[in-house]
Amino acid sequence: MTDLNGRRVAILAADGVERVELEQPLKTLVDAGAETTLLSLEDGEIAARNNDLEEAGTFDVDRVVKDASVDEFDALLLPGGTVNPDKLRADESAVAFVRDFVASGKPVAAICHGPWSLVEAGVVSGRTVTSFPSIRTDLRNAGANVVDEEVATDGNLITSRSPDDLDAFCDALVSAVAGGAAT
């Protein structure tokens, strides 16, 4: 396994996050030695979901995104679930954090509906990405080149389609965090 000791990864999520899309990458990062920080819109907890509809427990929030700085982290993870990114894209602090993170050149990984935050941040134009099928039109309308692959890597952006792609997504994320920006 790749050694991520000393690497700090921000995870940005809100209520409605797809549990497995937060939990599996989080476990993979921690198992590789990374320090993770769950950022959200408010202190407390966020409610997770399975398949958007079933309650799936909660995650404790470490910090609110408006108090975080890109400089504190080596990478950013954006899990999906339809409600989660919809809440994030309505919050200017979250949108600015995503925009600044992509501009930093550090790895940004988004899965399933997570790329909605990238659309709102205005950072997908001319970039090759993938996502859950229902948001591909939004990505195209924002100027992205959308592909149907388990993982699409374009510079520092890493995107995947769905929980079915989590193993490949986690591998790409760990590799990018270990090496800095993806190539």
Q: For 82-118, write each residue's pLDDT tens digit.
A: 999 999 999 999 999 999 999 999 999 999 999 999 9
Domains in the chain with CATH codes: 8-179 (3.40.50.880)
pTM (predicted TM-score):
0.96
On the CB side of 145, CA atoms within 13 Å amount to: 7
Coil, strand or helix: which one is 50? strand
Residue 182 clears pLDDT 70, i.e. is over it: no
Beta partners for residue 40, in sequence order: 64
Q: Tell me how many degrees the CA angle 68-78-179 measures, rounded to the nearest 5.
A: 85
* Confidence bin at 183 (pLDDT 50/70/90): very low
Q: Which residue has the higher pLDDT, 8 or 183?
A: 8
Give the residue numbers marked as catalytic: 112-113
pLDDT at residue 16, as a whole number: 97
Element (H, E) at 10: strand 8-12
